[in-house]
Amino acid sequence: MDFALTAGDLEFRDEVRAFLRDNLPPEMAKLGAMGFQPDREASLGWQKILSQRPGWSVPMWPKEHGGPGWTVMQRYLFEEECFAAGAPTCNLQGTELVGPVIYSFGNDEQKQRFLPGIRNGKDYWCQGFSEPNAGSDLANLRTKAIRDGDHYVVNGQKIWTSQAQWADWLFLLVRTDPEAQAQRGISFLLVDMKTPGITVRPIVSIDGSTHLTETFYDDVRVPVTNLVGEENKGWGYTKFLLGNERAFSGASIPTIKRYLQRIKRVATAQELDGKPLLQDAGFAYRLAQLEVEVLALEMSVLRVIHEDSGTSTGGWAIGSVLKVRGTELQQRCCDLLAEALGTYAAAFYPDPYEHRGQNIALPGPDYAPGVMAELMYRRAASIFGGSAEIQHNIIAKMILGM
């Protein structure tokens, strides 16, 4: 299989590079490359800049809904260039999760009302799926919605609702038929975060930030017009959404490549026995080993892209293979990066997004802040979007036929 980029792909990549050079603000790129999770201002700020080019803020959307209509390879190149330049991630719950659900299953009124705000970076979205007893076993969810005239009245609790404290809108899974078999009685609602009865309680996570929250719903009245698709059919839309979440982005090759670049930068500056760490045979061997494994994964991703995921061996379960392997390599890269950093890995670096505008003196070299935050955050990569064990189950069932 020939993975060489076509002349058209190269031209596209140059166009993206030129756009990034001219439009990505240096301060945004500096923070983005550090490893802390971007805040609302960074994500929506970048989304707004991208939306100056039609469709660029929503790379996976088809043209008819305001996307760029790119090929899978163009999307891959775009993501790679954005990461390499240090661009922050957009509000993916909007652009990659709920947006495609709305244009695929929502009605015309919902498309007109919600899609522009996602495209142009006006609205920030969060995802209310997981509950204390419904994570891997999501269909066990208990948050209920009872119809009362033109509204649903929602009561219950969600957990791990990322970035709910910044969100304008929430997409929420609720049980609308308690008598039906688990998957059959679930509905998919779009909820205005300003609705009375919603309480957001931040959770401080191990990377030092508060991007996770618990959310509570007490008699929250949601208009029936905010139901996506049909009542009790929400599980089908959820499977579609989770499939998108685990697709190619699961491998996160652009993220891993950025880690490799950073390991080289740190290991060139840090010294061991009076020489750059990069020249230490043991360290260089381990880095080379990682690079080979990353290259192998990238080849697998490119193979899937060339074969077009839907038709390749194993169907969409291949996304699970890429996610498991990608997550392992992300975590190993972060471990090696922290090791290269040596004693500075033990220093505490406050999240610059949570201390915007404050001039805090930081110990050590400029490449040190964010390394440990990134390492800590990446521990969660084998949990969110479906844990590694659940991906193994999918692979066993759908690819190995066990």
CB of 314 to ligand FAD, least distance (A): 19
Q: Which is nearer to ligand FAD, 47 or 130 (CB)?
A: 130
- Judged by beta carbon, residue 51 or residue 209, the one nearer ligand FAD is 209
Tokens, residue 80? 């790679």
| Helix ranges, 24-65 (H) | 26-34, 40-50
Task: Determine, following the binding rule CB under 6 A, whether residue 162 of this chain makes contact with ligand FAD.
Answer: yes
Confirm or reject binding of residue 120 to ligand FAD (CB under 6 A): no
Q: How far apart are CA 332 and CA 291, in angstroms?
A: 11
Part in contact with ligand FAD (CB under 6 A); list of ranges 7-15, 66-74, 128-136, 269-277: 128-136
- Short-list 164, 160, 165, 167, CA closest to 138: 160
Q: Is 245 a catalytic residue?
A: yes
Region binding ligand FAD by CB under 6 A among candidate stretches 11-19, 279-287, 363-371, 376-384: 376-384
Instruction: Answer yes or no whether residue 12 interacts with ligand FAD by CB under 6 A.
Output: no
Residue 165 engages ligand FAD in binding (rule: CB under 6 A): no
Site for ligand FAD in 134-153 (CB under 6 A): 135-136
- Residue whose beta carbon is closest to ligand FAD: 135
Structural tokens at position 324:
């498991």
What lies within 8 Å, CB to CB, of 58 at 6+ separation is: 65, 66, 67, 68, 95, 99, 118, 119
Tokens of 188: 């998919």
* For helices 253-269 and 72-85, angle between their N-to-C axes, nearest 10 degrees: 30
- Token couple for 132: 């204390």
Q: Which single residue is written with the structure tokens 């790119």? A: 70
335 within 8 A of 195, measured Cβ to Cβ = no
Assess 326 for contact with ligand FAD (CB under 6 A): no
For position 387 contacting ligand FAD by CB under 6 A, the verdict is yes
- Considering only 175-183, 303-311, 322-330, 389-397, which stretch makes contact with ligand FAD by CB under 6 A? 389-397
Q: Which residues bind ligand FAD (CB under 6 A)?
A: 127-130, 135-136, 160-162, 212, 380, 383-384, 387, 389-390, 393
